Structure formats: structure tokens, C-alpha cells
Amino acid sequence: MNPTALITGASSGLGYEFAKLYAANGYNLIITARNEEKLQKLKDELNHIEVTIIPKDLSQPGASKELYQHALDKDLTISALVNNAGFGLNGYFDELSLQEQQDMLQVNITALTELTHYFLPSLKKAANQGLPAGILNVASTAAFQPGPKMAVYYASKSYVLSFSEAMAEELKGSNVHVTTLCPGATETNFFKTAKAENSKLTSSTMSPQMVAKAGFEGYMKKQRVIVPGRVNRVSALAAKFVPRSVAARIAQNMNSANS
Ligand SMILES: NC(=O)c1ccc[n+]([C@@H]2O[C@H](COP(=O)([O-])OP(=O)(O)OC[C@H]3O[C@@H](n4cnc5c(N)ncnc54)[C@H](OP(=O)(O)O)[C@@H]3O)[C@@H](O)[C@H]2O)c1
């Protein structure tokens, strides 16, 4: 029997690429996002495997539980969880809408945490049955330093990295591995959604295909943290050695518009 992967945010960008990669490697899929039409298109493309669509708005409290319940009702068990859904917002904290920033926390942090909690028993069961079982969480190079002008987004990704590394250690010995992907700027809808299309961040980007491939391969090799791209690895390393205030100033500059 094919293993099943649950992929959040599969309607576009990295999630869409992950769906194709897991499918190409023999996984059936549960795919979720808000845009049902795009999910249906993806399902039509992947007609060689079983694909279940569960549309959800993960910014709504309770959505993760409904997603879990839906999978349970359909008797779907998973051996791979890809917590990819997420978004950013560009601007000063007090000038951005509080509601939109709360929605971001709900999607980037709360839903990811809840889905991990709900589906962990299924992952452990799969591991006990000898299936490869794991979690792939999508953080960002934003996780490595504070990010003025995207303060909540950067903080949310620091949470994802910290939580995921802690889970990797807790689950050591359970045969459920946890991989965290920390992409730098990638050519997806991310910058449009974040209203950061003119920011300096967009001056050097990677393709979503390359980033998802690096994440998937790292997941298959059970690596803990993956930073795709040499420039991103250098900047992630540099952030460890400069004072946090300096790193924050550099990030603020990068989050600002090209002049
Ligand atoms: N692109 C980058 O430069 C970059 C860099 C570092 C990290 N990342 C991270 O990579 C992940 C994927 O983003 P992406 O770059 O592929 O951007 P994207 O093309 O905008 O994709 C974001 C995905 O998240 C889903 N999503 C957003 N809000 C949602 C909500 N309220 N409920 C359910 N699903 C929601 C979207 O689906 P719907 O709109 O259909 O709901 C979409 O499928 C995110 O976690 C992002 O933070 C991106």
C-alpha cells in the first residue's frame, strides 16, 4: 500500500511543488488550502495516485481539528506531514492590521502546531509498521534573526524552527523524523501576498522547484535543518556571528523597498 502525505498550502508555490515530488515518489496525497479550484487542478494533474482534497482556511480557529476529523472520518492515515501553508506581511507592526497579523500567527504557528499534535499518533503508528514516517515543516531564513518591517512573520518562523528542532530531538528513537526547510526568497506568490514585491528581498531568488527539491531530498535523508542555496546558507551563518541589533538592521534594510 502506498504511504500518504498530508500537504498544507498545496494550491501554489512550494506546496504545489511538494505535492508533485511526493506523488512522484509513490505517495498518495491529502492536499489542503483555501483555493479549491487550484487543488482540483492539481488533483487532475496527479491522476496516477489517490488525492483527497480537504479545503480549509487555516486562519480560522478550529480548522486544523476539522481537517484532522475529516481525515479520520475517511479513514485516512498519514505517514508524512508537510506543514507548508504560511504567509508574510510587509510593513511596520503598528501600521499593519492586527487582525491580519493574528491570522498570520494562526496559520504559521497555531495550525502547524495543532496539525503536528493531531497527526503525530498516525505518524508513530506508521513508523511502528515500518513505513518511513516524518514531518517536513517550512520555516524560512527569516527564522535566524529579528525582522523589522516583517516583525511578526520573522518571529513566527523562529517559532517554527525552534519548535521543529525540539520535536526532532523529542522524537529521536521513535522513527518519526522532523525536517525543517528554511528557504530564502523564492519565486512564488509569497511577495505579492506580503505586499513586498518591491522589497530588496526579491533581488535574489530561487525557483520553487529547486527549493522544494532541496526540502524533499533533505526530508528523505532525515536531515534536521535545510537552508537551500549558497547565498542563503552564508547569510544564515552570518546571522549567528553578528550582534542581533546589527542583524535586525540588515533585515530591516532588506525588507525595505528598492530605491
Ligand atoms: N517564497 C518565499 O520567498 C519564502 C521564503 C521562505 C519561506 N517561505 C514559506 O514557504 C511556505 C509556502 O509559501 P510560498 O512561498 O509557496 O507562497 P505561496 O505561493 O503564497 O503559497 C502559500 C500557500 O499557503 C496557503 N495558505 C495561505 N494562507 C492560508 C490560509 N489562511 N489557510 C490555508 N492555506 C493558506 C496558500 O493557499 P490558499 O491561498 O489557496 O489558501 C498557498 O497554497 C510558507 O510557509 C512561507 O512562509 C516562503
CA distance 30 to 205: 29
> So what's the pLDDT on residue 1?
79
Residues 6+ apart with CB under 8 A from 57: 34, 63
Question: pTM score > 0.85 for this model?
Answer: yes
Burial-class residue 176 by CB neighbours within 10 Å (0-12, 13-18, 19+): buried
The answer, yes or no, to whether any atom of ligand 1 lies below 6 A from the CB of 136, is: no
How many residues appear in the chain?
259
CA distance 101 to 234: 29
Inter-residue contact 190 to 249 (CB < 8 Å): no
Q: For residue range 133-184, list pLDDT tens digits in order.
A: 999 999 999 999 999 999 999 999 999 999 999 999 999 999 999 999 999 9
Nearest CA to ligand 1 atom 41: 34
CA 125 to chain centre: 23
The 3-state DSSP class for residue 82 equals strand
Whether 259 has a pLDDT exceeding 90, the answer reads no
Burial-class residue 1 by CB neighbours within 10 Å (0-12, 13-18, 19+): exposed
Q: For the CA atoms of 160, 20, 175, 123, what is the dihedral angle to 10 degrees?
A: 80
Query: What atom of ligand 1 comes closest to residue 16's alpha carbon?
Result: 43
- Measured in degrees and rounded to the nearest 5, phi and psi for residue 34 equal -85, -35
Q: For residue range 190-216, list pLDDT tens digits in order.
A: 999 999 999 999 999 999 999 999 999
Catalytic residue among 16, 153, 154, 159: 153
> So what's the pLDDT on residue 26?
95
Q: For residue range 27-74, list pLDDT tens digits in order.
A: 999 999 999 999 999 999 999 999 999 999 999 999 999 999 999 999
> So what's the pLDDT on residue 205?
96
Q: In what order do the strands lie in the sheet with 80-83?
A: 51-53, 28-32, 4-8, 80-83, 133-138, 176-181, 225-226
Q: Phi-psi bin for 258: left (phi > 0), alpha (psi -120 to 50), beta?
A: beta
Q: For the CA atoms of 210, 212, 215, 219, what is the dihedral angle to 10 degrees?
A: -130
Average pLDDT, the chain: 97
C-alpha 103 – ligand 1 centre gap (Å): 13
Residue-range domains of the chain with CATH: 4-254 (3.40.50.720)
| Residue 153 designated active-site | yes
